[in-house]
Amino acid sequence: MKHTILIKNGIIATLGDKNRVLTGHALLIEDGLIKKIGPQKSFKGKYSKVIDAKNKLVMPGFINTHMHFYSTFARGLGKAAPSRNFMEILNNLWWRLDKKLTNADSYYSAVIPLINAVRKGTTTLIDHHASPFAIAGSLGAVAKAANETGLRAALCYEVSDRDGKEKAKEGLEENTAFITAVAASKGNNLKAMFGLHASFTISDETLEEAAYRGHKLGAGFHIHTAESQADQLQCESHHKIRVVERLHGFGILGRKSIAAHCVHVNEKEIEILRETGTAVVHNPQSNANNSVGIADITGMMAKGVLVGLGTDAMTVNMMEEVRAALWLQHLKRDPSQGFMEAAQALLVNNAKIANRYFTGLGELKAGFAADIAVIDYIPPTPMDASNFYGHLIFGISQSAVDTTIAAGRVLMENKKLKLDIDEEEVSRKSAELAKKLWSRF
């Protein structure tokens, strides 16, 4: 017997390129996919489950296109020296932390934000992992966490020469093995990319080998790109070209690749990103926190670059991140600019990026994945497709997610988790491991 879920009595926002805001309609899920959206009176059958979404908004689950699960263990860590710039932040905190991670740490530091993602209606996350002294099997540990929470994840390992040639080689091997295994599984919940840290920590030799392997495997690359001006300065002094030019020369860019950040790119680099179809992922809160600048997503999108929105581990709440994106575009330009760009990055472009790896995400439509967020919201002013972005940024974003569904599986309902995970026990074990890691920090 087919498993069916009917969601009724809510306002349905389909999103996609032509968003529709529907009242008096219901949505039927069958075996993990959306079967039908239609007038509520047309649904008269018996269903495995019925969800009453009265006084709620029904919309696609959110997508996060640049995340670092392992950052969880930095929460509350007070041992890092104060840092005055981006390179000091890396040296004082992140590159000390990632060296101490074990595979058990990688699992627990992933499962915690994944549980929180369920609470925030985020159903797909594209992660970038680093644990240079526990590389082999690390992506499997993160994948285990994703599978147990029921969320979709695209994973990669961050290859870098910063810890020596042997670690770079191990990173290449971990990506290769994981990409191969995921491709063989042919599922739609777990995907793989080829991870690279950033131009300034990768030698020509390693970049060439990564490009060779990635292309042979048919994988896209996921790399930090001109996040800080230091990345550009190193590239210009050592390679006599700019970061995007260098990556392009090695064949790293393309439709399946993600260039995260792109805070410090010039017009020529933006044109290369556009020509290659490379996705750029904006991470506004992280960029502000690290004081590296504000990416000009308004300018990039005007030139035809596909720009999505990530959190870089600052949060798993995409409704929080989109507001930060808007405020910072206003600050960079003026208050008349950035509204549509910030909203589209989250609501349209993230789906376009994710669908380069997954199938049928980011839109409520027959045949698409049943990844759904049901959010408490009674519109206090008229709401339709023409002003939905305004409602999302200034109203819906301040409301609670009530129910989260991924691949047709109810992961949270009535704000109560429905996972086969003991959150209290997981949090206790996570704190225990974090304490041990901090003692090694």
Q: Is residue 278 part of a domain?
A: yes
pLDDT category at 45 given cuts 50, 70, 90 is: confident
346 CB-near residues (< 8 Å, 6+ apart) = 62, 308, 309, 318, 321, 322, 325
Decide if 182 is inside a domain. yes
Domain that holds residue 44: 4-60+363-417
pLDDT for the residue 57: 99
Same domain as 217, residue 273:
yes
50 pLDDT more than 90:
yes
| 384 and 343 in a common domain | no
179 and 293 in a common domain: yes
pLDDT tens digits along 101-154:
999 999 999 999 999 999 999 999 999 999 999 999 999 999 999 999 999 999
**How many beta carbons lie within 10 A of that of residue 278, not counting itself?**
26
47 and 123 assigned to the same domain: no
| Same domain for 390 and 260 | no
With respect to residue 430, please indicate whether it lies within any of the assigned structural domains.
no
Domain end among 337, 354, 371: 354
What single-letter DSSP state applies at residue 61? Answer: P
- Asked whether residue 311 falls in the same domain as residue 373, the answer is no
396 Cα distance to chain centroid: 20
Given a contact cutoff of 8 angstroms between Cβ atoms, the answer to whether 277 and 252 are in contact is no
Residue with tokens 């993230």: 350
pTM of the predicted protein model: 0.98
Number of Cβ atoms within 10 Å of the Cβ of 417: 15
Residue 439 lies in a domain: no
How high is the mean pLDDT of the chain?
A: 98
- Phi, then psi, of 379 in degrees rounded to 5: -60, 125
* 34 and 93 fall within a common domain: no
pLDDT value of position 116? 98
Is the pLDDT at 35 greater than 80, yes or no? yes
Q: Are residues 71 and 56 in the same domain?
A: no
Task: Residue 274: give its domain's CATH number.
Answer: 3.20.20.140
* Shared domain check, 114 and 41: no
In this structure, is the dihedral angle defined by the CA atoms of residues 62, 293, 287 and 285, taken in order, positive or negative? negative
Shared domain for 400 and 281, answered yes or no, is no
Residue 263 in domain: yes
Q: For residues 206 and 111, state if they share a domain.
A: yes
User: Can you name the residues that pair with 221 across neighbouring β-strands?
Assistant: 194
Name the strand (E) or helix (H) holding 7.
Answer: strand 4-8
Please say if the pLDDT value at position 69 is more than 90.
yes
| CATH number where 20 lies | 2.30.40.10
CA angle 369/373/379 to nearest 5° reads: 130
Residues 292 and 336 in one domain: yes
**432 class by beta-carbon count within 10 Å (0-12 exposed, 13-18 middle, 19+ buried):** exposed
Residue 124's pLDDT is what? 99
Among 305, 257, 309, 307, which Cα is nearest to 286's?
309
From 304, 333, 354, the end of a domain falls on: 354
In the predicted model, what is the mean pLDDT of residues 62-80?
96
- Residue-wise pLDDT tens digits, 365-393: 999 999 999 999 999 999 999 999 999 99
Residue 178: which H helix or E strand, with range?
helix 165-185
CB 258 within 8 A of CB 65: yes
Q: Within a domain: residue 87?
A: yes
Distance CA 254, CA 353 (A): 12
Scanning 32-132, the segments in alpha helix (DSSP H) are 86-89, 95-97, 103-119
> What does the block give as tokens for 370?
């049943």
Q: What is the pLDDT of residues 4-33, one digit of tens each?
A: 999 999 999 999 989 999 999 999 999 999
Q: How many structural domains comprise the chain?
A: 2
Report the alpha-carbon distance of residue 94 to residue 83 in Å, rounded.
11
Tell me which H or E stretch contains 329. Answer: helix 318-332
